[in-house]
Amino acid sequence: MDICRKSSCGSAGSAASLTPERAALIQQAFRLEGLTIAWMIVEGAVAISAGIAAGSLTLTAFGLDSLIELASACVLIWRLNVELRRGQAFSESAERTASKIGGALLFALAAYIVAGAVWSLWTRHGEAFSLPGLIVALLAIPIMTLLARRKIAIATKLGSRAMRADAVESITCGWLSLVVVIGLIADLLLRAWWVDAVTSLAIAGFVVKEAREAWKGEECCDRD
């Protein structure tokens, strides 16, 4: 189904043809992606360095997930820039391309989740406690939740599957942050090394579903 069926994405025009409301939405989307990139740089750097220092596979993988989210945000910025500079008539092709890239990144994220969980269960190796890792994971939960909600709201109004896929990246990052926190605390208090692996697997199905929809370019929402 064409994601732009209920919008004017297929109409001729240039950037000047964008309505003020749509242009304002795109500017909001730019700001959200800018915030995402800034946080992902911090989150990725702290999580990877803390994971390596603590010998934590899950915490290191959490940092690598931040790099996937960073790539997703960059792709979405490119897609938004095409529409802002050239208008909705030129955004349809960019939307399809960005949606497929977003879907591919989600598939990669799902593969990482499953591989990390299986490896952790196979080696019986959970997270080693890391205070910096715990702090960055705790901060990521509210930050990614707020970003995801705003991205979904704007994706709905724009009719953008690509932005929806990027929002799912943020949602998944928030859930993985919670998984990291649970795993770190469980390891510290209970030595329950398997908790993070089991809870991570529960997220994979949701990510695959969204990845398939993004890859197919299915309509993300119904709009008036």
What DSSP line would sit under 147-160, residue for residue? HHHHHHHHHHHHT-
Tokens of 213: 């929809």
CATH of domain 19-216: 1.20.1510.10
- For residue 133, the number of C-alpha atoms closer than 13 Å in the C-beta half-sphere is 31
Are 134 and 178 in contact by the 8 Å Cβ rule? The answer is: no
Picking from 64, 55, 28, 14, the residue whose alpha carbon sits closest to that of residue 160 is 28
User: What mean pLDDT do residues 2-22 have?
Assistant: 53
In the prediction, which pLDDT does 59 show?
Answer: 79
In 3-state terms, what secondary structure has residue 91?
A: helix
Most confident of 43-52, 53-62, 210-219: 43-52
pTM, to two decimals: 0.71
Above 90 in pLDDT, residue 71?
no
In the prediction, which pLDDT does 218 show?
Answer: 54
In the prediction, which pLDDT does 138 show?
Answer: 95
In the prediction, which pLDDT does 13 show?
Answer: 45
CA angle, residues 17, 15, 103, in degrees to nearest 5? 110
Q: Where are the alpha helices (DSSP H) in the chain?
A: 20-54, 57-86, 91-123, 131-158, 161-189, 195-216
The residue extents of the domains of the chain are 19-216
Give the model's confidence band at 223: pLDDT under 50 very low, under 70 low, under 90 confident, else very high: very low
Tokens of 81: 């820039």
